[in-house]
Amino acid sequence: MPGETDLKAILQSLSPIMLDETYVFCTVVGASYGDYAETAPIASYQENEGLTLVLTQERADIAKLGYEGLFSCISLQVHSSLESVGLTAVVAGKLAAYEISANIIAGYYHDHVFVPQAQASEAFGLLRDLNKV
């Protein structure tokens, strides 16, 4: 089933949920994609500077990986097309207006917004209200 492309329909269908875990972003210099698979990252990205891993704080601590900041993940729970235009801008813009950083990862079915854990409740409320636009 293809994802939705109409921004208004996407926003009206938005049904964000907050995941329970605490997440961190780590980088491992000299690592390659597939390394650290035992940490079960929910996302990874190969950069010139190193392998970026997004994983739970617990798994990072067990693996003795360094990180800066603790994040909560808000999954937007709407199947938007990877070719849809505007959702990331609306989400990031709404959070930026309240001085909340947003690190957004697009999965095939849903977008996932990582926000500082200390601001997660406020961010969740703001994103939950986007479907009232």
Condensed to tens digits (0 to 9), the pLDDT of residues 40-54 reads 999 999 999 999 999
Mean per-residue pLDDT of the chain: 91
Q: What tokens appear for 46 in the block?
A: 């190969």
Q: Of all residues in the chain, what percent are helix, strand and coil, respectively (each to 5)?
A: 30, 30, 40
- State the pTM of this model: 0.90
**Residue 133's pLDDT band (cuts 50, 70, 90):** low
* More confident call, 131 vs 24: 24
Spell out the domain ranges in the chain: 1-21+71-133, 23-69
Distances (CA, A) of 14 to 8, 17, 23, 106: 10, 10, 22, 15
Confidence class for position 78, pLDDT limits 50, 70, 90: confident
- Name the β-bridge partners of 43: 54
Greater pLDDT, 10 or 49:
49
pLDDT tens per residue, range 95-124? 999 999 999 998 888 889 999 999 999 999
What superfamily does domain 1-21+71-133 belong to in CATH? VC0802-like (3.30.2130.10)
